[in-house]
Amino acid sequence: MQTTSVPPRGIEPRTSLTPPAPLLAMPPDSPAIESSILGPAGVAFFDFDGTLIHGDSLPMFVGEVIGRRRAALALADAIRSALHRHVRGRGPGCDFPGSVKAIYLKRTLRGLPVADALAAAERMVPRVRWHQPMLDVLKEHRRQGRRVVVATGALDLYMPALLRRLEVDDLLATGMEVVDGRLTGRLSTANCVRLDKAERVTGWIAGNGPVAATWGYGNHPSDLPMLALMHKGEVVRIRRRSNHR
């Protein structure tokens, strides 16, 4: 794992969503993770996909619902459709990734009973590949008496099942609309990524303060707006395993 630091931003959390200054890379064996968890009691915010786990949890979830092959084909089709719509200025999301997600969810989850979605979430649990160094950081924050919040673009349908064995105080996730016990395929909240995630985190801090200090862990570049709010932010890069031995 390689991390880079966002310099401290002062005592009060920043409300500006301006990304932090350029980040300085550090070697994988850097003591940055150890040093980042020293200090007063406060709150640690963790991204999920690509931070606490390897990869993206959404295709995994959809694969449990409709089958892995169909999920992969549906994702490729959603990417093509979003590209065509954005060329015409008609993308359903606020940006290209958001449009891909909106199309993907509508085409794969619309009409799904909530009970089936929750069952698929349970089937995901043994398949998740956890990123052990970040799990250790999370546990150390807990040991230091700090609150832990997971802030993620992943769906609130399956996240509680995946986090069940972790000591997490709160979850900020993307909600799905439900009507008569079935998913409509539409979101019930903003997509909890990038600026929307930063706004959710800002709201959480405002509603759960006062907060002595904040730590944040996430991906580059999608989590930079959230990390810019933190007193101490770490960009997490999970190195892919080489196929060569």
Per-residue pLDDT of the chain (245 residues; tens, 9 = 90+): 544 444 333 323 333 333 333 333 333 334 444 445 555 689 999 999 999 999 999 999 999 999 999 999 999 999 999 888 776 776 665 678 888 999 999 999 999 999 999 999 999 999 999 999 999 999 999 999 999 999 999 999 999 999 999 999 999 999 999 999 999 999 999 999 999 999 999 999 999 988 999 999 999 888 999 999 999 999 999 887 544 43
The distance in angstroms from the start CA to the end CA of the chain is 19
Alpha carbon dihedral 139, 144, 145, 147, in 10-degree steps, equals -50
- Strand ranges for 61-199 from DSSP E: 147-155, 170-174, 176-179, 182-187
Q: Residue for token digits 């199309």?
A: 103
Token digits of residue 181: 């016990």
Residue 130 makes CB contacts below 8 A (sequence gap 6+) with 52, 53, 54
SS3 of 235, please?
strand
Distance CA 47, CA 218 (A): 5
Token pair 């395929």 is at which residue? 185
Pick among 1.20.1540.10, 3.40.190.10, 3.40.50.150, 3.40.50.1000: CATH of 2-55+130-237: 3.40.50.1000
The structural domains of the chain, with segments of one domain joined by +, span 2-55+130-237, 57-126
Our CA angle for 212, 164, 189, nearest 5°, is 70
How many residues make up the chain in this entry? 245
pLDDT of residue 71: 97
